[in-house]
Amino acid sequence: MLKVENLSVHYGMIQAVREVSFEVKQGEIVSLIGANGAGKTTILRTISGLVRPSNGTITFEGNEINKTSPQKIVADGLSQVPEGRHVFPGLTVQENLEMGAFLRKDNEQIKADFEGVFEKFPILKERRNQDSATLSGGEQQMLAMGRALMSKPKLLLLDEPSMGLAPIFIREIFKTIQEIQAQGTTVLLIEQNAKMALSIADRGYVLETGQIVLKGTGAELLASEEVKKAYLGG
Ligand SMILES: Nc1ncnc2c1ncn2[C@@H]1O[C@H](COP(=O)(O)OP(=O)(O)OP(=O)(O)O)[C@@H](O)[C@H]1O
Ligand SMILES: [Mg+2]
């Protein structure tokens, strides 16, 4: 579904991503793990069309999207939940969710998808008329995920959804990611929380200073001595 080949990204003179290749097959959860500054967000923003690669190709459902506009990429079925959530303050929960659907015209289906999001995140239904800025961090993460789901993505990109959240919210968020997969959406998950991310992943990749250094199934990576030492506290 998604194929990233020999991707390199520079910020001026700084090379943040070095010849990275990986793929996501339809129906999978693929986790990309790595420490601070490894290049995770850069890869995700490049896939979304917000940052342009200096080299390499990104193919989504057989079409090269290196030069495609971010709007078109969302319309084609690829949405991201950005690092730090970025909900729209001053807009209510409901209005934030509506923003997620702004490229769609299938009004009946949009209504059904609203209900789907409220089913997944009942707290958002309770707070639908509340300013999104007043939500807790965990609730904002749910709203950011709900907003992305309102674009009806085929592939959902998540950038560190567990960041800064209490363990109880983290468990809930990861459970929801599995639900999203079960309902037919493919997921590329970017995380520093290697244990949680690999435990729900079909496959995973380990990123270090802009390069992929290890890959395997989620279970293989969880059992790997290198991953244990570097990411799972021994
Ligand atoms: N806009 C930018 N301008 C210049 N350098 C940048 C910019 N954004 C990121 N970088 C650099 O690129 C490298 C990769 O950053 P990136 O944000 O992709 O890492 P990350 O893996 O997402 O880190 P974190 O876990 O902290 O979110 C870092 O060295 C960072 O300082
Ligand atoms: Mg990041």
Question: 231 pLDDT band (50/70/90 cuts)?
Answer: confident
Point out the ligand nearest to the CA of residue 34. Answer: 1
Q: Is the CB of 39 under 6 A from ligand 1?
A: yes
Give me ligand 2 centre to Cα 197, in Å.
15
Give me ligand 1 centre to Cα 160, in Å.
13
CA angle 60, 84, 151 (to 5 degrees): 40
Give me ligand 1 centre to Cα 8, in Å.
13
Q: Is the CB of 45 under 6 A from ligand 1?
A: no
The Cα 61–Cα 69 span in angstroms is 16
Question: 49 pLDDT band (50/70/90 cuts)?
Answer: very high
Give me ligand 2 centre to Cα 190, in Å.
8
Residue nearest to atom 23 of ligand 1 (CA): 37
Q: Is the pLDDT of residue 233 over 80?
A: no
Closest by CA position to 181, among listed 208, 156, 160, 214: 156
Residue nearest to atom 30 of ligand 1 (CA): 37
Q: Is the pLDDT of residue 138 over 70?
A: yes
Which domains does the chain show, CATH number per domain?
Answer: 2-86+153-231 (3.40.50.300)
Mutate to test the pocket of ligand 1, among 15, 31, 36, 41 (most ligand atoms within 8 A of CB): 41
Give me ligand 1 centre to Cα 107, in Å.
38
Give me ligand 1 centre to Cα 43, in Å.
10
Q: Is the CB of 41 under 6 A from ligand 1?
A: yes
Residue 178 confidence (pLDDT): 97
**What pLDDT, in 10s, does the model give residues 178-216?**
999 999 999 999 999 999 999 999 999 999 999 999 999
Mutate to test the pocket of ligand 1, among 14, 158, 190 (most ligand atoms within 8 A of CB): 14
Q: Is the pLDDT of residue 34 over 80?
A: yes
Average pLDDT, integer, range 99-120 = 92
Edge-first strand order for the sheet with 78-81 is: 78-81, 155-159, 186-191, 29-34, 203-208, 211-217
Question: 234 pLDDT band (50/70/90 cuts)?
Answer: low
The Cα 107–Cα 97 span in angstroms is 14
Average pLDDT, integer, range 88-116 = 93
Helix or strand (DSSP H, E) at 216: strand 211-217
Residue 35 phi, psi (nearest 5):
-75, 180
Percent of the chain with pLDDT over 70: 100
Q: Is the CB of 13 under 6 A from ligand 1?
A: no
Percent of the chain with pLDDT over 90: 92
The Cα 38–Cα 32 span in angstroms is 10
Q: Is the CB of 38 under 6 A from ligand 1?
A: yes
The Cα 160–Cα 66 span in angstroms is 23
Q: Is the pLDDT of residue 106 over 70?
A: yes
